[in-house]
Amino acid sequence: VGLPLMQLSAGGHHAAVVTAHGTALVWGKNETGCCGREYPKELAVPVPVKIPSENQSASSPANLPFTDWAIWNNKDGLVAKMSDDVAIQDVACGAEHTILVTRSGRLLVCGSNQRGQLGADVSKVPTATTVVPVHHPSG
């Protein structure tokens, strides 16, 4: 991939990695949407996962690559980095699903939910072909 990798997880027929910058990349069989997208049904190379943002700002500067990035001023000058609500810090792959945790603690899931493994009501979410947040009790 050419990026510093921090974590790797392998599922039944798919895998995911997390880069040092907080990007999640997935590849493999995607029959159930476990790669965070409906199509294609198989990914031969790692592709970035699109993470839904809670805090996208319309005031993001035009020179940033994505609207969910922010600028901080540190001792070396201005630094651009992903917002904590979309930057991934942890990933786990199951047989046909993927679970992601952002730096801000958001729980995101995709793939098969046939046995409730996504933490969502099976009757409402039998399968998630895109990455969706799961609201867990706080405390």
| pLDDT value of residue 75 | 63
Q: How far is CA 118 from CA 36, 71, 126, 129, in A?
A: 13, 33, 9, 12
C-alpha 29/C-alpha 69 separation (Å) is 30
Q: Residue 60 CA to chain centroid, in angstroms?
A: 21
| pLDDT value of residue 84 | 84
Q: How far is CA 125 from CA 6, 48, 135, in A?
A: 30, 23, 13
* Other CB atoms within 10 Å distance of the CB of residue 31: 16
Strand order in the sheet with 127-134: 88-93, 97-102, 107-112, 127-134
| pLDDT value of residue 21 | 87
1 membership: H or E segment, kind and range? none
Residue by residue, pLDDT tens for the chain (139 residues) are: 577 899 999 999 999 999 998 999 999 999 999 999 999 999 999 999 998 877 544 444 555 555 555 555 556 665 557 788 889 999 999 999 999 999 999 999 999 999 999 998 899 899 999 999 998 776 5
Q: What is the pTM of this model?
A: 0.82
- Amino acid at position 78, single letter: L
